[in-house]
Amino acid sequence: MYVTVVFVKVKKEKILDFIQATKINHESSVKENGNRRFDILQLSEDDSKFILYEAYSDETEAKKHKETSHYLKWRDTVSDWMDEPRKGIVYKGLFPE
Amino acid sequence: MYVTVVFVKVKKEKILDFIQATKINHESSVKENGNRRFDILQLSEDDSKFILYEAYSDETEAKKHKETSHYLKWRDTVSDWMDEPRKGIVYKGLFPE
């Protein structure tokens, strides 16, 4: 798996809007052929902080995600809601193989 | 889901040993009733850094993991291989529901 862990901090007043927009992105993303996981996590200690856990079969499939209409819509919808620039960190998924 | 994201930094000379021991832990952990994911990730830019992505149906099931023989064996096996104390961060898994 090719995994991007995206760390997000959202403006307090936009948390519920962010969850709703990200739910829509999740629902379409998990239907992509190369998608393995698209988990949306909220930090237990600070509900303005999230992780998007995006696992794809390989890098090519991960890049295709960035061209989908649901990704582009999500990106534009949430852009003003970020409290700081979000940060995506790339990992090799060792297991499951 | 109740998700713990565990950040690990391993001594350079113990990276392969760590991967092997963690693979064994992974293989048993995914068979636990409450387990949803137990992904082992290696940072692309620094192969001494890992994430253990441990998702359980709820907190009770996550706590049961800490009592399993495979977890306890893994914990004791890798304890001297850490380059710094590992850090587990708890998240609420919003989606999938």
Confidence at B13, pLDDT banded by 50, 70, 90: very high
Residues A7, A51: Cα–Cα separation, whole Å: 5
Which tens digits make up the pLDDT trace of B74-86? 999 999 999 999 9
Residues B79, B60: Cα–Cα separation, whole Å: 24
Domain boundaries, chain A: 2-92
Q: What is the pLDDT of residue B83?
A: 97
Q: What's the mean pLDDT in B48-67?
A: 98
Min Cα distance A47 → chain B (Å) is 9
Min Cα distance B7 → chain A (Å) is 12
Residue A54 has phi, psi (to 5 degrees) of -115, 105
Chain B contact residues (CB < 8 Å to A): 1, 3, 5, 19, 22-23, 26-27, 30, 37-45, 51, 53, 55, 89-96
CB pairs under 8 A between A and B: 81
Reply yes or no: is the peptide bond before residue B96 cis, omega within 30 of 0.
yes
Confidence at A83, pLDDT banded by 50, 70, 90: very high
Confidence at A30, pLDDT banded by 50, 70, 90: very high
Classify domain B2-92 at the CATH class level: alpha beta
Question: What's the mean pLDDT when you consider all of chain B?
Answer: 98
H/E stretch holding A29 reads helix A15-29
Confidence at B38, pLDDT banded by 50, 70, 90: very high
Q: What's the mean pLDDT in A64-84?
A: 98
Contacts of A53 in chain B (CB under 8 A): 53
Q: What's the mean pLDDT in B20-35?
A: 98
- Asked if the ipTM is above 0.90, the reply is yes
